[in-house]
Amino acid sequence: MAAAGLTLSGALGNGANAAAQGLNPNALVINPVLGFELSPYLYMQFMEPLGATDGSVEAAWDHLAEQWRDDVVAVTKELGPPMMRWGGIFADFYRWREGVGPREARPPMVNLLWGGVESNQIGTGEFVDFCRRVGADPLICVNFESDGRQQYKKYRTSVRTADAAEAAAWVSYCNGASNAERNGHGIDAPLGVRHWQIGNETSYDRNGFDVETAGRKTVEFANAMRTADPAIQIIGWGDSGWAARMAEIAGEHLQFLAFHHMFDPDNPRQPVLRGEAYRRDPDAAWDQLMKAWETADAKIKTVRQSLGAHKIPLAMTECHFAIPGRDRGDVVASWAAGVSYARILNNHERHGDVLKIATAADFCGTRWQNNAVIIPTPRNNNKAYLQPVARVMRLYRHHSGTHAIQVRRTPEGLDVTASRRGETVYLHVANTLRTKSVSATIQIEGQTARAGRVFEIADDPMVELSYLNSADAMKTAEKPLPAGGSWEFPAASVSAVEIPIA
């Protein structure tokens, strides 16, 4: 499903072949002809209250001031997510009206999956307010009759499932020009939530809906929700081989099909990434992390193939490592993981002809292994900070084109994707070599290489982030790229290159 004439592979590591053919092995050759459009939503973030498992949303809220923590807002503005998603499996037992209206009247709820109690001080209005503060489009996942999961339908005397009418009422609350319920809560203007997801991991539970039931109910929900607002964009569930059948049943009602990918990139026979084991063998840990993108690529290809002949964009609304260990995965705080995630994000770009919404991390929290933003206890003026994956997402997000272009050749060791916006070419470059820099001569076909800029993150792969070093480690350095395009990419580095063309 790639656009005609556009190479998805990125031509990684073909410098040796170039040398054998008498070509310049250092040549990094780009064809500037526009390919498919790249969605800005490839760098979205996913926010879900995670109960006792993680401070998550509650930790980002200043309960004394009744507002979002200033440091969380500030660091998220730096990250610049184009979209924020509210609710994952949490949506299976979430009743949205419990999180709106006067705070003193909002009932707390038991988090039936992650444990603990949610205060409901953060609900629809607060979530949309956060999105507006950081410049993100909100995406809400509705309670889809608990995805058919019986265990979430009732807790003691409280019904936890919700039907299509409740989903439609939520859309009306957010988007109705004059919604009486919203107006009664002191919110006059519509909240403007344009993206809505129906179903979350629906296919993952044998006790939940089958594809036929899910497809039929998706149509029911979509019709009800569009009665409230005909202009909304709706995401249905299409993982586990469901994509083609869901498209057949409900495709005319959907703009996207969703899937998730949570995976352990470790080798189960010789684990080196679990706990603190990666510190004992940096070479083996690096090698394993550099292969992680292959697992992610295989999942995307599987979902693409499951679409068959259907032409419907994909939304990977959750994606991250899942590595056992102290505090749920120590290695994700290392720069080695940052470079690994750069390769995963490059791969998302290569699938950008059909992949239109994607992420590589969950959002904020105090210890969850996949957080983009870590929220320390605010004592002693500790500030929220970006994890390695988020530092790469910030780098790419702020230095990216609107359309993919072709990478024809790269030096050995570099993973490169290219895009273009107007008369500027952008390169996303990961040096996959842990201890060796790579020289490159950037050539843009039909153009004279002009002076540009390089935005570079380079650090020891074993460096780990914490609140103590968050300002000093894994910093982005801006450097001038000389005319002629010659550049040395440091070992274990991730770079975004901007080159103006005539």
Over range 332-346, report the average pLDDT: 97
Written as one letter, the residue type at 418 is A
488: phi then psi, degrees, rounded to nearest 5:
-110, 110
| Residue boundaries of the structural domains of the chain | 15-37+403-500, 40-398
365: phi then psi, degrees, rounded to nearest 5:
175, 180
- Of 472, 473, 478, 471, which Cα lies nearest the Cα of 459? 473
Q: How confident is the model at residue 55 (pLDDT cuts 50, 70, 90)?
A: confident
Mean of the per-residue pLDDT values of the chain: 93
pLDDT at 249: 98
pLDDT at 329: 77
DSSP string, 332-365: GGBHHHHHHHHHHHHHHHHTTTTEEEE-SSEEEE
Same CATH topology for 15-37+403-500 and 40-398? no
Tell whether the model's pLDDT for residue 227 goes beyond 80: yes
Measure Cα distances from 122 to 59, 179, 442, 468 in Å. 11, 20, 48, 29
Q: Decide the pairing of beta strands 438-444 and 424-431.
A: unpaired
Which tokens sit at 393? 């997402």
Q: How confident is the model at residue 254 (pLDDT cuts 50, 70, 90)?
A: very high
Written as one letter, the residue type at 451 is A
Higher pLDDT, 5 or 129: 129
Nearest-5° Cα angle at 469, 466 to 472: 140
Q: Which CATH superfamily is domain 40-398 in?
A: Glycosidases (3.20.20.80)
In the block, tokens 């916006």 appear at 421
Name which of 52-56, 133-137, 187-191, 401-405 the model is least confident about: 52-56
| All residues at 6 or more sequence positions from 348 whose CB lies less than 8 Å from its CB, including other chains | 42, 300, 316, 355, 358, 360
* 147-169 per-position pLDDT tens digit: 999 999 999 999 999 999 999 99
Q: Can you give 204-267 as a three-state secondary structure string? A: HCCCCCCHHHHHHHHHHHHHHHHHHCCCCEEEEECCCCCHHHHHHHHHHHCCEEEEEEEECCCC
pLDDT at 368: 75
Topology (CATH) of 15-37+403-500: Immunoglobulin-like (2.60.40)
